[in-house]
Amino acid sequence: MASSHSSSPVPRGGRDGIYHKERDPSPPRCRPVRSLPDVCPKEPTGEGRGLCDGPSVVAEHDRWTVYSSKVNLPAALNDPRLAKRESDFFTKTWGLDFAETEVMPSFYLPNITREHFGPYQQEMAQRERIHERCKTICPNKDDVDAVSSITTNHDKSRAELEQVPKIFMKPEFALEDPATFNTVLPWSHFNSAGGKSSRDVASSKLLQEKLSHYLDVVEVSIARQISLRSEAFFHAMSSQHELQDRLQETQRAVAVLRGRTAAIDRVMCQGPLRALRTALTRNNCVKLHNKLKLMAAVHQTQPTVQLLLSTSEFVGALELISTTKEVLQQELQGIHSFRHLGSQLCELEKLIDKMMVEDFSMYARSDLNRSLKDEPQVLEKVHTPNATSEKERLESLVFGLLRQRKLDFLDIYSDEMIVAAKAIVTQCVAESVLHIEEIDTEVVTKLADQMRVMTFPQWFELLKNVFESFLLFLQRIKATLNVIKNVVLEVLASNQKNRLLEEAGSGASGQEASHSPSLLHGEAELAYLTHEGLFISDALNEAQQQQQQQQQAAVQDQSSVGGSRIQQSRTEAASSDSASGSAESSVIREQSFMSGENMMPTELELNRVINNIQELLYSASDVSHDRCVKVLTARAKDGSLERLSSAEFVCLSQAVEGFVRDTEELCGRRSVSLRGALQSQANRFVHRFHEERKTKLSLLLDNERWKQAEVPAEFQDLVNSIADGRITLPERKIPGPEDRKPTEFLLVNGQKYAVVGTVLLLIRIFLEYCQCVNDIPSIATDMLTRLSDLLKHFNSRSCQLVLGAGALQVVGLKTITTKNLALASRCLQLVVHYIPIIRAHFETKLQPKQFSVLRHFDHITKDYNDHIAEISAKLVAIMDSLFEKVLSKYEVKAPMPSACFRNVCKQMAKMHEAIYELLPEEQTQMLFLRINASFKMHLKRQLARLGVVNDGGPQHGLVVVDVAFYTENVQALKSLERLDLNMAEIWEQKR
């Protein structure tokens, strides 16, 4: 066995599978005995490069490698001490994804299935069947001999081994065990009393021989087994020596490879790696420098904000604070030195909010309280040559308030506006009183008392000054609100523009996002296909690293942008300190639009602010009207406005209407307070106006003697102007030598009207009513009612005086003559002629919903026509009573014509003489037709009583002569020549 270690040749296997030892004719080489390498090499220590060292090919590192493992993986997985194999051996350390990770199939290997082996199996199936059949029929002879010899030797050795007791074959055999020892060496066979007998000696020799025999049997069996496996043993030994030789060669090759790799690492890797480290260090230094510059810029935020606030650049200060807070949250988060800066900026922002509100309040107060004699525009005063104008100051304030969502700044302006409106009235009254010596301000201290002490011209001048001041006040407010509205509209347009850009950007990003998965998949596949390394994961990791580098570059760009924004804000602060302009401020606002869009109010809120601006303008108009109402009511408290003349009240009404109209054009709001106050005063004025004229008319009627009056030329001109469509009072003319003389009749559209003096004045009175309506359209309804009442009063009072004979007691007339009646009828007809004209004039001054009050004119027209008809009936009744009295005494006898008919013709001539010049021809004819009908009725009745018939007898002839005399006399009157009397109706018709 010792010599077997020196056998170097490797046994070669023959065809029959039995290895034969090759004999080397050369003498055997003596090799020193070398120990085999440990299967568990030592951990690398960095000392030398022996076989037991670690596998590092570049440098030694004290890190764990696979060569540091003491137990191989199969031994760890097949631990005999565990009842069953652990199912979570991999997942409990590396996670659940380790066992379930799907291995990516290779692109170069086809997918092999069972169908690919089908042709081969079909081809080899037949050969396999033949081979199996041959093996069973013809076994190998050598194999049979070897098997038989092995079987014989095995049976023989087995029989010999059966002689050895079983106790020696047990695995737990140990002589230390007393029971085993007593079984193997039975000392009970020996004499324990002491001494050695011949029997004991024989027994011990027998036991020794037996044990020696057992040993020989075992050694023979072992030698037989060794002889049977000697070839395999020698082959294993020779293979072990060959393996040691090859391991030595491998060790030398590995040492050479390590040397070359170290040279490559030293020459080709360390330099580039150092360059990469230097580049990485430089990038880190650049980032650190940028961070330090950003920190320096942030550190200067508070001084810059103070500088901006000193120049009232609230927008720039707020933008700088917002940018700094954004940079602190995104770029400088976690910086210990800036841990309190965020809260300080928030407090500073709150302070700026208070400053803006206070500054806006001061601006509104100074703008509204400055002298109204200046231009009614936004403040344009420039305190210093390089300071911004107050208009830009207002725009900056409004934009800053909008940016901070302080949308209630209009309430501040409204409060200041109300205070300023009160001050305007006080100032105007004080200025007016200053020029009036009759008013002692120490005695009369209240403004209302001072206004009541003034005369109407003085007070009216004060009122016009108040109106003028409030118009300038409203113009100034409108200009200021227009500036505010333009800023709000600019912000609204910017918000809409940003929203459209965001929608367009979101659509583009959505398309990119939809393509990004496929792009990423394509990039991964491309990395897999082009990667030349050992693992696919390396290619994917490289792609991920490239994406991370791009993201880091974007973050770096953002940080640089944040720093540039802060630096830009500082530059703006410096520029605003040195010089500023409208273009620069607009640029700042535009940048603030883009950067602070999230801070800005929404479109709904901005539209609400625009509506509030318009409502504030309306409120300014209402406040102005309310203060003017105070001035008006203070004057009217003692009733002085009711005692105004119509001309004075018309002037007051025109001034108020002009102011209301101007404010409506300026503010676009129809305020009703001042109109309502004027309407209240107008109602009182109308009441007094109407009562004065009604009283005047009553006095005129009570003193009227109902005689025809001469018509002055001014009244004829007045009537002519009405005929021309001018329903107004003409201006009074200074009497001159060329004035025309009065006429007997009033010519109206070619018709003559004989009138009394009261009717002429009545025409002028209702023209005064129409003139008041022209001057004060708001009192049209009330004035129409009062005018209708006046016309009704004239109708009823004239009826009482003429038809009711009231003039006999009032004026002292002896009787009411037919001439009085005809004159009254003609006056009433003249009034009826003008009622449609008055109605049409009032209709133009009324609203469509007020047309219902025009029905009063229809009732008045009916009453007047009824009155005229009653007068006509009265005239007929006078003659009717005369005919009844005269014809009752008529007798048919000579001489002819009879005295009765003579008397009738005389009275008819008197009637005609009384009314001919007063009534028109048509009315005269109609009246005489009615009188003739009455005469015929009484004559027919008397002839029937007398029994005279148209039989051609003497009485009939006498009656015909009287009738002919009557007809001749009546037709001889003027305008009655062609009057058909139809006297045949006096006779009874024959049956």
Q: Is the dihedral of CA 968, 969, 970, 976 positive or negative?
A: positive
**Mean pLDDT score, 504-531:** 51
* Region of poorest pLDDT, from 209-213, 287-291, 319-323, 815-819: 319-323
Q: Give dist(CA 708, CA 328) in Å, integer.
A: 106
Query: Which comes out higher in pLDDT, residue 446 or 695?
Result: 695
Q: Model confidence at 445, in pLDDT bands (50, 70, 90)?
A: low
Res 413: pLDDT: 80
Q: Give dist(CA 429, CA 813) in Å, integer.
A: 59
Q: Model confidence at 326, in pLDDT bands (50, 70, 90)?
A: confident
Query: Which comes out higher in pLDDT, residue 267 or 189?
Result: 267
Res 632: pLDDT: 82
pLDDT tens digits, 469-495 = 888 888 888 888 888 888 888 878 877
* 29 and 8 Cβ atoms separated by less than 8 Å: yes
* Region of poorest pLDDT, from 105-114, 320-329, 688-697: 320-329
Res 561: pLDDT: 47
Res 188: pLDDT: 61
Query: Is residue 199 over pLDDT 60?
Result: yes
* 218 and 164 Cβ atoms separated by less than 8 Å: yes
**Mean pLDDT score, 460-470:** 85
Q: Model confidence at 37, in pLDDT bands (50, 70, 90)?
A: very low
Query: Which comes out higher in pLDDT, residue 330 or 120?
Result: 120
Of all residues in the chain, the percent with pLDDT exceeding 90 is: 15
- Structure tokens of 21? 């030892």
Please enumerate in sequence order all residues whose Cβ is within 8 A of that of 313, keeping only pairs 6 or more positions apart, or say none: 396, 572, 573, 576, 588
Q: Model confidence at 38, in pLDDT bands (50, 70, 90)?
A: very low
Query: Is residue 780 over pLDDT 70?
Result: yes
Res 821: pLDDT: 92
Res 836: pLDDT: 93
Res 584: pLDDT: 46
* 298 and 563 Cβ atoms separated by less than 8 Å: no
Q: Model confidence at 452, in pLDDT bands (50, 70, 90)?
A: low
* 418 and 623 Cβ atoms separated by less than 8 Å: yes
Res 598: pLDDT: 52
| DSSP H/E element including 746 | strand 746-748
SS3 sequence of 690-718: HHHHHHHHHHHHHCCCCCCCCECHHHHHH
How many other CB atoms are found less than 10 A from the CB of residue 303? 11
Res 568: pLDDT: 53
Res 880: pLDDT: 92
Res 74: pLDDT: 66
Query: Which comes out higher in pLDDT, residue 376 or 904?
Result: 904
Res 49: pLDDT: 42
Query: Is residue 39 over pLDDT 80?
Result: no
Residue with tokens 């909008």: 402
Q: Model confidence at 439, in pLDDT bands (50, 70, 90)?
A: low
Res 621: pLDDT: 86
Res 688: pLDDT: 85
**Mean pLDDT score, 425-440:** 72
Arithmetic mean of pLDDT over the chain: 76
Query: Which comes out higher in pLDDT, residue 451 or 610?
Result: 610
Which one of 361-375, 630-644, 861-875 scores highest in mean pLDDT?
861-875
* 452 and 635 Cβ atoms separated by less than 8 Å: yes
pLDDT tens digits, 273-319 = 999 999 999 999 999 998 888 888 877 877 887 787 777 677 777 77
Q: Model confidence at 31, in pLDDT bands (50, 70, 90)?
A: very low
pLDDT tens digits, 224-275 = 888 887 888 788 888 888 899 999 999 999 999 999 999 999 888 898 899 9
Closest CA to 299 of 567, 635, 13: 567
Query: Is residue 773 over pLDDT 70?
Result: yes
Could you tell me whether strands 751-753 and 12-13 are parallel, antiparallel, or unpaired per DSSP bridges?
unpaired
pLDDT tens digits, 395-426 = 777 777 777 767 777 788 888 888 888 888 88
Res 380: pLDDT: 44
Query: Is residue 137 over pLDDT 70?
Result: yes
| DSSP H/E element including 13 | strand 12-13
Res 873: pLDDT: 93
pLDDT tens digits, 708-726 = 899 988 888 888 888 888 8
> Model-level pTM?
0.51
- Structure tokens of 511? 């398309």
Res 373: pLDDT: 65
* Region of poorest pLDDT, from 633-637, 826-830, 872-876: 633-637
Res 461: pLDDT: 85
19 DSSP β-pair partners: 13
**Mean pLDDT score, 670-697:** 84
Res 555: pLDDT: 46
Of all residues in the chain, the percent with pLDDT exceeding 70 is: 72
**Mean pLDDT score, 737-765:** 86
Res 580: pLDDT: 43
DSSP-assigned letter for residue 6: G
Query: Is residue 459 over pLDDT 70?
Result: yes
Res 150: pLDDT: 63
* 818 and 880 Cβ atoms separated by less than 8 Å: no
* Region of poorest pLDDT, from 90-104, 120-134, 417-431, 922-936: 90-104
- Structure tokens of 893? 């006898």
- Helix residue ranges per DSSP H, 579-602: 582-595
Query: Which comes out higher in pLDDT, residue 539 or 89?
Result: 89
Q: Model confidence at 663, in pLDDT bands (50, 70, 90)?
A: confident
Query: Is residue 8 over pLDDT 90?
Result: no
- Number of residues that make up the chain: 991
* DSSP letter string, 612-632: HHHHHHHHHHHHHHHHHHHHH
Res 937: pLDDT: 92
| DSSP H/E element including 751 | strand 751-753
Classify residue 671 as left (phi > 0), alpha (psi -120 to 50) or beta: beta
Which one of 450-459, 540-549, 842-851 scores highest in mean pLDDT?
842-851
Res 867: pLDDT: 94
Q: What are phi and psi of 703, to 5 degrees?
A: -100, 0
pLDDT tens digits, 518-576 = 444 444 433 433 444 434 344 445 555 665 565 555 545 545 545 555 555 555 444 44
* 709 and 756 Cβ atoms separated by less than 8 Å: yes
**Mean pLDDT score, 420-433:** 81
Query: Is residue 27 over pLDDT 50?
Result: no
